[in-house]
Structures are given as structure tokens and as C-alpha cells.
Chain A
């Protein structure tokens, strides 16, 4: 690669990173608005409608309010870890999106720029690593707060998240067997004939259940189960640090939806009358709507049942599914 083409590549990448970062922030803001509005309609309420036209500026009002609030650190808290915990959560949530492809290659002056922050050849493995670090944010928040509710929430969610990481990882194995690659770009390319959901429906169901548990969303939102744990691991957090946990939760929701679309629904592939990234955006929005729909529909389960379900149903089933996929392919 010549020096000139390297500079073009670098500038294009920096612009791409900035665009993705801003787009992710805006998507988080409007996802919070969309969730409140959709759940309101599902419960025959109106939802936020005061700030801006039909309440569209509500998330920005919320974030400004949180930004201007007093930042409390409870007595007896481990100050360093208390500040570090939300930073880890947000950092991992944003980093995870970097391997998701969202469009065709574009060519500028003979330099090929894939529409993806970076095309790692170990993309899926990188994502698993990021999800593993994500646990630290929550468990450190719970431990450092010196509050009983936070500690319970932190421990619960730690056990839940590491348990559900296994079926999450195992459900992707079938995809790897079909696409012969860990790179998410090659996985999308391998779906040009038909989407992997057609062959991997059971794996998709396992993936969906464990991704809901992994993001601590209803009906698996035990870390913050309001009636019993006040607010779980972020009970003691206020001001912008609270907002950071909120952002991290919604960012990982977006990333997991994008990952589900990439692995099972052909990523950015679609009929050519719309540009690829619009197809990608539509599919991700549908997945996100599904997440919100679940929250409005189902009550919270029981913690022991959740754990038992993972170890005795999801884990053996996903192992069995790997063997079935292998037998079909051979």
C-alpha cells in the first residue's frame, strides 16, 4: 500500500468512526424515546409529549437534566472503582459495535473502504471478549457502592451474564460452520443466496433468549428488579454516571440487535431498490422493536428458574444443535 492510499484510507476511517459514534449516540437517544412511546401506546397511555413536537426532544431534556444534577458518592464507597465502573460499561458498549458491517465497500481513488469500522478476521471472538469485559462494569458498580441492594444486584447480574454468555457463544457456532469464517463481513457475504435463519432457526431462538439475558432486559431484568432491589447495581449512582449506565444498556441492546441481524438475517443484504445501510437500519429497528415489545408483554421471571433454565435446557440444547448441524452438513 502506498503512502498516498494509506492517508486516504486513514482519513476515510476517521470520518467513518466519527459518523458511527455520533449515529450511535443519536440512536441511543431516540431508542429511549421510542421505548417510552411504544410501551405507552401498548399500555393505552400517551407517553412523553411535552418537550418538542410529539415529545421528540425528551431524551435530550433528560440527559441535560442528569448532566446538571449533583454527583453523589456514598460514604464508604471505593471511590476509584465507583467512578471506573460506569466508564467500563460505556466503553465496552461502544467498542462492541466496531466489528459490525453495515454496507457495501466504497472505493475512493482506488482505495477500498469497507463500511465497517474495522474488518477483524476474528470478529466474533472479539465480540465475545468485549461481552466478557462488560460484566466487570456491573459487578464493580455493585461492589464499590457499599450498598446492600447494589451488591445483590451486582452479584445476581454477574452470575446471570456469565451463565448466558455460554449459549450466546454456542449459538453462533452453527453460523461459523456454514460460513467458514469468524469475520462478520464474510458471514454476511456467505448469506447472499439465503439468510442463515432458514437453516439455524433453533440457534436463533437460543441466541435471542441469551441476548436478552445478556443485556439485562425484561423479562430477565433481575439486576435492577425494582420491587425487590430498588434499582440493583446502580442504586447509588446519580447524575451523569447514572446516565452512563443507561447509555451502556441501550448501546449493547443496539449492538446485539445488529449482531443478530448480521448473523441470521443477512446483515445489510437486501433488494437493490434501497441502499444497503438503509436495509441494515430497518432490520435493526425491527429487532429493537421486538426487544421493547417483549418488555411490554412479559412479567419478570424468578431468578432460580432463570439460572436453571440456562444450565439444564439452553446449554445442552445448543451443544446438541451443534452436533445436528454437523451431521446435516457432512
Chain B
């Protein structure tokens, strides 16, 4: 069987799930009652009138997580193909991966020393 044909069932499933999502969202929109008023449609804030918009400055702490993630995720992309052909690579393949992870370990230790993994101490 050709490889492209393997993706056909995925496509059929995507159409089915998409159809299910769209019809149920539209149907529930039609069936439900509609009595909008300003109090009801204001964002929830423990019953008081909402102060200001929610989309303001946000702690920078969350963004380095994404940066660190990219570093290690790219590493993951390299490890996967290596793992699949591991038995063919032999000892030299293993040693190469050890060296690769050791290089990464240097960066990891640097971030660790700078407190990059401590949520409270984070100040980049």
C-alpha cells in the first residue's frame, strides 16, 4: 500500500470530527435561549464590576519556559531518528549521542546556575 494512502483515513476522520464540531456548535447556538444583557456578558470577577481589560502586561517568567522548551525540543527531534536506527549505528552511534548530550549538558548547567529553573528566582 502506498504511503499517501495511509493518510486518507486521517483525512476522513478530520472531516467527520469537523462536521460533528460545526453542527453541534451551530445547533446549540440555535436551540439555547438568548436574553443577553450587559451584566450577564461582563467577564466574571467575583461579582464586582470588572476593572480594566484582562490583556495587560504579563509576568516575563512564562516566556523563558517557551525558549527553554525550543532548545530541548530540537534535541528531541535529533534523538528520535537516532533511536529508530540505533541497532545499526553500533558503538560509534552511541558515543556520538553521549557527546551530543554532554554538549547540551553544559548549557543545561549554565541555566541551572543562573537560576533559570527556579520559578521564584527567575530574572533574565
Q: Which residues of B contact A16 (CB under 8 A)?
A: 9
Q: Are A94 and B13 in contact (CB under 8 A)?
A: yes
Q: How far is it, in angstroms, between the C-alpha of A260 and the C-alpha of B107 when the chains are bound? A: 31
Determine whether A60 belongs to the interface, using a CB cutoff of 8 Å to chain B.
no
Interface of B is mostly: helix
| Given A70-B33, A70-B35, A307-B65, also A235-B21 (CB < 8 A) | no
| Contact string against A for B residues 67-97, beta-carbon threshold 8 Å, 1 for contact and 0 otherwise | 0110011001001100111110011001001
Q: Which residues of B contact A170 (CB under 8 A)?
A: 76, 79
Determine whether A315 belongs to the interface, using a CB cutoff of 8 Å to chain B.
yes
| Given A71-B28, A94-B13, A244-B21, also A146-B55 (CB < 8 A) | yes
Q: Are B94 and A330 in contact (CB under 8 A)?
A: yes
Q: Are B44 and A147 in contact (CB under 8 A)?
A: yes
| Contact string against B for A residues 41-60, beta-carbon threshold 8 Å, 1 for contact and 0 otherwise | 00000000000000000000
Q: How far is it, in angstroms, between the C-alpha of A74 and the C-alpha of B65 when the chains are bound? A: 30
Shortest Cβ gap from B22 to chain A (Å): 8
Residues of A participating in the B interface, judged by any CB pair closer than 8 Å? 1, 10, 13-14, 16-18, 21, 66-77, 83, 87, 90-91, 94-95, 98, 117-121, 124-125, 143, 145-151, 155, 158-159, 162-163, 165-166, 169-170, 173-174, 176-177, 180-182, 230, 235-236, 239-241, 244, 303-304, 307-308, 311-312, 315-316, 319, 322-323, 326-327, 329-330
Give the size range of B's interface with the partner: 35 or more
Q: Are A165 and B58 in contact (CB under 8 A)?
A: no
Shortest Cβ gap from A163 to chain B (Å): 6
Determine whether B124 belongs to the interface, using a CB cutoff of 8 Å to chain A.
no
With A74-B43, A146-B53, A148-B45 given, can you name 16 additional A-B contacts, CB distance below 8 Å? Answer: A67-B27, A83-B25, A87-B21, A98-B10, A146-B43, A150-B54, A151-B58, A165-B73, A174-B83, A176-B83, A181-B84, A182-B80, A182-B84, A239-B28, A311-B68, A329-B87
Shortest Cβ gap from A129 to chain B (Å): 11
Q: Which residues of A contact B38 (CB under 8 A)?
A: 75
User: For B53, B83, B108, which residue has the most chain A Cβ atoms within 10 angstroms?
Assistant: B83
Compute the total of residue contacts between A and B using a CB distance below 8 Å: 194
A78's nearest neighbour on chain B, judged by CB, is B55
Q: How far is it, in angstroms, between the C-alpha of A163 and the C-alpha of B28 when the chains are bound? A: 35
Q: Are A17 and B80 in contact (CB under 8 A)?
A: no
Q: How far is it, in angstroms, between the C-alpha of A277 and the C-alpha of B1 when the chains are bound? A: 24
Shortest Cβ gap from B6 to chain A (Å): 5
Q: Which residues of A contact B55 (CB under 8 A)?
A: 143, 146, 151
Q: Which residues of B contact A165 (CB under 8 A)?
A: 69, 73
Q: How far is it, in angstroms, between the C-alpha of A176 and the C-alpha of B72 when the chains are bound? A: 18
Q: Are B9 and A13 in contact (CB under 8 A)?
A: yes
Q: Which residues of A contact B40 (CB under 8 A)?
A: 72
Determine whether B106 belongs to the interface, using a CB cutoff of 8 Å to chain A.
no
Q: Which residues of A contact B118 (CB under 8 A)?
A: 304, 308
| Contact string against A for B residues 38-56, beta-carbon threshold 8 Å, 1 for contact and 0 otherwise | 1011111100001001110
Q: How far is it, in angstroms, between the C-alpha of A147 and the C-alpha of B24 when the chains are bound? A: 25
- Cβ-defined partner of A240 (8 Å) among B8, B24, B34, B44: B24
